[in-house]
Structure 1
Amino acid sequence: MTNDNTTHFGFKEVPKQEKVALVRGVFDSVASQYDVMNDLMSLGIHRIWKRVAVQLANVREGDQVLDLAGGTGDLTTLFEKRVGKKGRVVLADINAAMLRTGRDRLINRGLAGNIEYAQVNAECLPFADNTFDCVCIGFGLRNVTDKDAALRSMYRVLKPGGRVIVLEFSHPTDPITEKVYDFYSFNLLPKIGAIVAKDEDSYRYLAESIRMHPKQDELKRMMEEAGLERCEYFNMTQGIVAVHRGYKF
């Protein structure tokens, strides 16, 4: 049970001021193998989850998009195609190693003109009020120390009429899926991490962080308390992943 000065790092309780450094250590370690591990962890299905999230974002040509926890740039690549040359996508991440990996990948793909990069903390975004048509955070909210502060910050930088998209691992909706998922997460995933990324502990943390993340209805309530309206969520793969969407009016 956490108090005002502590938070969860996986199943561990740690001082709030230490979590950012701990999470940074995880992603510094896995950055170079992050995409390979994503494919192995999800059997490639993460690409479908991301496409669904972008579709639900309803991004149009000329829009301004903030891709938070954008990591190696998968969502930014999809958004870039939709906003076109008149639009802008900001690939943002708190982790410098992940941001460098994403920037290098996008430059190698020839994507540069309408993409910017920013190392930011989601809890205190360094952008003006009412800047973006869409703020998306993909598989990153669970790693944020103060999720409520992050959602409020996302709401602040969103334009009226804009939407927040949260793509995140969530909680299975049926007991059979939950049992299979638990076995995979705590028995197989760390071993895959040890072999491929040479880091068993980081992938054990990632599995634990998913279990500590708010359930679907709780996250919807948190988004509403941050000021977002018409909040809803869409379960995918029996609730293993969910996309939450909320609007600013």
Structure 2
Amino acid sequence: MPKLETDREAFSLQIQSMFNAIAPRYDLLNRVLSCGVDRFWRKRAVSRLMLKPGGRYLDIACGTGDVALEYFERPAESPRQVVALDFSEAMLQRAGTKFKDRGRQSALPRVCAAAEALPFADASFDGVSVAFGVRNFADREQGLREMARVLRPGCRAVILEFSLPRQPLLRESYRLYFDRVLPGIGRWVSGHPDAYTYLPESVGVFPEREEFAVMMRNAGFGRVRYREMTLGIVTLYVGIRDE
């Protein structure tokens, strides 16, 4: 299992290997473990970007491409291009199959790279999204700085992340599910012994909402705000690149 306290390079390699291994069952696990609510989370996140018709966008930690495809679900706001970036080749391969099946491959180029070193020029995107990927950054502060760097001034970044509910009883029930039930389901469906033990551990050590909002501000985002969804198990953060 990836150790959250290891050095950053080793951590990144472990996470990359894990996601390569679970890629074939990743979509199924998302549907099962979220009871299908993950679709609603993605739609809400993309809607908060305030898409510009003909714009250029970046989806970081794109996985199998569901968020990137969501950009094209609003014909009146359809972007010119959405770059799908991930450091897992296996995830990008599965995303490519989806893009081809939807006839979107030309508008959805795939890039294999780490979020901490984005291979793009400054101010080259009209919006950036990350869905459940910031927890897996080896260096969160650097990843956030890179997101701000590639955004055009005044444009938005949206981040979806798991969080712990505030209500004590619900919080404990959620932790019980995360710590006891979810790892077993994950191992059974994915065949990977450690991936879904890492998930609850990573959520448990992720910064609390206001702490993460401060990290975004320090990275170059203004007007940072967040909204809890689904009883607080997911939080949607929005930040605007400083002018």
TM norm structure 1? 0.93
Could you tell me which amino acid in structure 2 is paired with residue 104 of structure 1? Answer: T
* 1:119 equivalent in structure 2: 112
Contact 2:164 2:174 (C-alpha < 8 Å) held by counterparts: no
The aligned residue for residue 240 of structure 1 is 233
Contact 2:165 2:233 in 1 (8 A): yes
Moved over 3 A (4+): none
Please tell me whether the aligned partners of residues 160 and 236 of structure 2 are also in contact (alpha carbons under 8 angstroms).
yes
Alignment correspondent of 2:211: 218
Corresponding residue of 1:89: 82
CA distance in 2, matches of 1:197, 1:72: 15
1:1-249 alignment, distance < 5 Å: 9=2, 12-82=4-74, 83-84=77-78, 87-248=80-241, 249=243
SS at match of 1:214: coil
- What is the percent sequence identity of the aligned residues? 36
8 Å contact from structure 2 (residues 225, 239) kept in 1: yes
How far did residue 59 of structure 1 move?
1.1
Residues of 2 paired with 1:17 and 1:115: CA distance? Answer: 28
SS in 2 for 1:57: coil
Kept in 2: contact 1:191–1:200 (CA 8 A): no
Secondary structure in structure 2 of the residue aligned to 1:113: coil
Q: What is the distance in 1 between the residues matched to 2:153 and 2:5? A: 37
C-alpha RMSD over aligned residues = 1.4
Give the gaps of 5 or more residues in structure 1: 1-7
Amino acid at match of 1:48: F
Native 8 Å contact 2:154 2:240 kept in 1: yes
Q: Secondary structure at the match of 1:135?
A: strand
**Superposition deviation, residue 9 in structure 1:** 4.5
Distance 2:217 2:138 in 1: 19
* Aligned mates of 1:177, 1:63 — CA distance in 2: 40
Q: How many residues align?
A: 240
Tell me if the contact between 2:179 and 2:200 (Cα under 8 Å) persists in the aligned partners.
yes
> Does the 8 Å contact 1:80/1:89 carry over to 2?
no
Cα distance in 2, alignment partners of residues 195 and 201 from structure 1? 11
TM-score by length of 2: 0.95
Does the Cα contact within 8 Å between 1:66 and 1:89 map onto a contact in 2? yes
Look up the SS of the partner of 1:200 in the other structure: coil
| Distance (Å, rounded) in 2 between the aligned partners of 1:178 and 1:36 | 25
Q: Which runs of 5+ in 2 are unaligned?
A: none
Contact 2:60 2:115 in 1 (8 A): yes
